[in-house]
Structure 1
């Protein structure tokens, strides 16, 4: 540098730029470590893009970033980074304090239940979304670094300050989008000269380059699946030679992730209230809608993420779908079945038991129910036939209702004694769904 003034400027601003690079590298690598931990816990490998992982898992990011407080730590480091890069010089602070891309506020439009910064970003979000959020923070760091270093170069003037690397920079706001969301591509050149701005082509169209040397292009995400956008940057390097860099921005369009879980069974039962829980990323509870189609179903909301499903027809194709802000977030298919038929019993004894005459006579009647069933169901015995052998014959007496009453009670008291056999058949049982079924017969051996 022939001009001593230019040399003096460079000797001041070059170390400033180096400090910003160091701050940026430290934070970028820290966030990369968080991504590695999340991906590893999900069964993936940050060094192997072909390895599949649990993309829709809602617990990993929640546990690590919220419950284990890694999100609090991230917010602290982002805050420190912002303060550090603004403190490198008062002129830098004055120019960038209001417009750095590092945003420390809670994102808008999240559930009111997310009271903390880390909860707003990472509570009940799928693994793939958490990785995308962290990638966005990394991109914000890179853009911040590029903008401040470029300003350091501008402070020197149009002198040839030679950096270790002279590279094209391409960033994106996300690599995983929902249909209709905007993909933002930022492209530019580090350490460019304002006298020779780069030419930037994104997706086949030239994009206006701003005074900071970067171009921003918004593209609306299309159909579900992987997509790519070509980026071509043409610039003049510090030796005056034209250079062309071509990069490809890749992103995936997917559906919002939602979990739909029946609280008791994996089957919807006719005639009983079926509780279910719904959780979805991408919006608060007020933005989530749940619908049911098939099986004569209807839904009623009983709390945040809690619903009751009532169904009326047997089917293998009852769909429950979740939408967030009007966009499908998830859908599950359930079977609809009638509740199992009840088994009859006397005094809790199953058919085939040996019962003493005294114990049998002490029973009030015939009961019915289902063992080991998650729903508390009421069954009503409508009628039955009581049969017992006597000294020289067999008597059969019809019973109405569940009780041993009237003629049945008389027959029991007179004829039930040791060595005899009692049969109760034609047992009609009414379930909570109103259907009447015939329960299997009961046989007891009196001792």
Structure 2
């Protein structure tokens, strides 16, 4: 049987082995007294082990108050170990009492009357078959205790568990072959020696019980990841605030493990983790609310399925606080849908709204508006936001309101002055084009004019147009134009995008 590591227990075992060997030589009073001393030491050791084991059981009770869900399965196993061990301990105690009674009982001092008697142990353990029964029960207890050990550690416990069923190597001196376990331990041994041997088995049971419940108690902490370092963590509701907004800071002490790093995934990307923390960095784009989603996965401390925690976090992207504008370009044009972009740093675009004096504003997207105005002069755009449930003014800006510039009159690509007669004759009418204007696609409509043709050797001819096309009564004259002839346009009227008809200055084309 295995020798426990405790020095006191080692000494008891050595004494037990020495005394057993001496029995083969001579059973003297000194030897019997020595067995009594060893037996008393074993009983004292058993009591100490019982107190130590009871303390571990009390710690299971204390841990149940901290985390019943985690501790309960382990405590249930420990309770079974206690029940099995106590039952076997008591059974052996009953065998000790039976042997003592069979040998004549105890005297008035509680000492065994016939310590040297050889008959009682042999009769009880061999003839009454209590020895084989004990051997079977001890073997069964050993197997039951090993079932409470984690599979990965079972091989180790099979080697070190104190409770073992072994037979010595000595053979029968008469050539009868190897001795049985019962014969080896109890045949023709003094009563005090048999009681001491049974006490030794009780000691093995207590030591084995202690080893198993210590391992079960260890598993309480083994099933937790050791967070052995702490650091302050501060989370702000926003790092971009405006005057009047409320700053909220969540401040806590966070713990992390220096030995076990989690696997952190954010938006499908695995992060590099150091000291339990991963850092996720991306350039942000697009004004408005954005979302981070991911998982944190811890390896299971017991080798089971990993622990997975999901998380979602939102953040807001606002426009840059830097604005660059040309003072002479803050103009709104009558009759057009003027695009305006508005943003406020630290405030989501959906919480921002705007209005204009002397016009209308239509929101067409996040931070984007269309403005229409109708009267020349000035207009003021006011911006407000809903901040912490309250409407707050974010500021205003004044714009000049102007009409769309006059167009340039053209025949073909020419603005007046010299023009080849051949080019003029193939044109169909008079155009009004905007040149170098900020808005693309803004057009003027020519709604009328008077055209006069002065051709050499011919009478002056004129006609009135009601559209951009040349009037029909001068069409033949235009087709016969030659170098040196002149064409006049006067009383020209055009209509712009604001719907207002405006007159244009006269122009002349000299053909060459």
Normalized per residue, which structure has more strand? Answer: 1
Normalized per residue, which structure has more helix? Answer: 2
- Shorter-chain TM range is 0.3 to 0.5
TM-score (norm 1): 0.43
TM-score (norm 2): 0.38
Higher CA-based Rg: 2
